[in-house]
Amino acid sequence: MIDHDKVRVLLLENIHPDAVSRLETEGYHVETVGRALDEDELIERIDGVQLLGIRSKTQVTARVLEAASDLVAIGAFCIGTDQIDLSVAAARGVAVFNAPFSNTRSVVELALAEIIALTRRLTEKNAGMHAGVWDKAADGSHEVRGRSLGIVGYGNIGTQLSVLAENLGMRVYFYDTADKLTLGNAQRCGTLDELLENSDVVTLHVDGRPGNSGFFGEAQFARMRDQSLFLNLSRGFVIDHAALRRHLVSGHLAGAAVDVFPEEPKGRGDEFVSELRGLPNVILTPHIGGSTEEAQADIGGFVAGKLAQFVGEGNTTLSSNLPAIALPQQPGTYRLVHIHRNMPGVLAQVNSILAEHSVNVEGQLLSTRGEFGYLLTDIGIDYSEIVLTKLRAMKETVRLRVVR
């Protein structure tokens, strides 16, 4: 059982104050750190922490999880979870929650702003004006209306970008390895090469799975149209930055906008190093695709709410690594939260132990996902501690806790 007034929360990387307020409302003790922690630093700080909140820079590795004996759940206050070892977390009974939708609009608006800025050559015009050069010429500046946009990755961000870009008069093509419902007049491309050959602007919105590392390199840049534009607001490691620079310097590509990088500084003010620095036709932003006040407030409240629901109710809706369950708790009951290996007969074993000790089941729900199962059981408040001992002793049990 977790006493709310004893729950320790560690929030890293300047997570929005709304998250702090939400968790403190639950009675939790919240500690905040304004930067990412490396593996050794996090191991030093994780002892006694039940809830951990991070953004995209902190890596929650197997070593960290092995050191986090009290950890119950992790909140990724961002879209992705590739910075967390999800399988090890599940194996240790640690739930992971993220915010897959909260900053979608912010990323889409940044992509649209960069597409317009690059198409109009605003970065170069701006730099010239600051240098005292008046260059009132239309050469190389275009409207986005009538131009073609190729979206690689047609998920939450890609689909919303598709709709808004079409409203601006762009022709939209997309490529995705999964079957996706086409929105508006967008056209699906059967291959990535087909998309590259048809697009004036190519923008990447793929996820952070390891298989996407180096996904877009020399061969793909060479396939792009002459004087086309390139954007990456997804993951830094999916593109070859040296190849991108070569195609920009040669004049093959007219411009690029990059928001994510293979290696990023830990905190504000640290030096940023990239081969793309110094190019006048490149917009570089410090991983701010989802960094609007609106998005961060929404993420803060959303993920903090998920963490509180998991602690207080065992609710795993939208968990990234455990089966999804939401079961209304019966009044006058305690709840057994049982994470276990997905083996035949677990439910029968649990109910047999309860029946053996005359514990009545008031409500129950089981779901499985891959290697693990997740069982919520509401029981009467009168039971013997030996029940918990026997449930924990089951060879399939990963973690058992009681919600009162």
pLDDT digits (tens, 9 = 90+) for 219-243: 999 999 999 999 999 999 999 999 9
Q: How confident is the model at residue 360 (pLDDT cuts 50, 70, 90)?
A: very high
Position 257 scores a pLDDT of 98
323-404 has which fold? Answer: Alpha-Beta Plaits (3.30.70)
Three-state secondary structure of 133-167: CCCCCCCCCCCCCCCEEEEECCCHHHHHHHHHHHH
DSSP string for residues in 217-283: -HHHHHHSPTTEEEEE-S-GGGB-HHHHHHHHHTTSEEEEEE---SS--SSTTSPP--TTTT-TTEE
pLDDT at 243 (0 to 100): 97
Q: For the segment 154-198, what is each residue's pLDDT rounded down to a tens digit?
A: 999 999 999 999 999 999 999 999 999 999 999 999 999 999 999
pLDDT (0 to 100) of residue 9: 98
| Residue 62 backbone phi and psi in degrees, to 5 | -60, -40
Residues with active-site annotation:
235, 264, 287
- Fold annotation for 1-103+293-320: Rossmann fold (3.40.50)
Domain chopping of the chain, boundaries: 1-103+293-320, 104-284, 323-404
Predicted confidence at residue 240, as pLDDT, reads 96
Mean pLDDT of 37-55: 97
Length of the chain (residues): 404
Average pLDDT over residues 250-256: 97
Q: What is the pLDDT of residues 54-68, one digit of tens each?
A: 998 899 999 999 999
pLDDT tens string 255-299: 999 999 999 987 788 899 999 999 999 999 999 999 999 999 999
pLDDT of amino acid 6: 87
Q: Do domains 1-103+293-320 and 104-284 have the same CATH topology?
A: yes
Contacts from 346-354 at CB under 8 Å and sequence distance 24+?
A: 346/373, 346/375, 346/394, 346/396, 347/375, 349/394, 349/396, 350/375, 350/377, 350/391, 350/394, 353/387, 353/390, 353/391, 354/379, 354/387
Q: Return the CATH class of domain 104-284.
A: alpha beta
Model pTM score: 0.83
> Whole-angstrom Cα distance, residue 184 to residue 163?
7
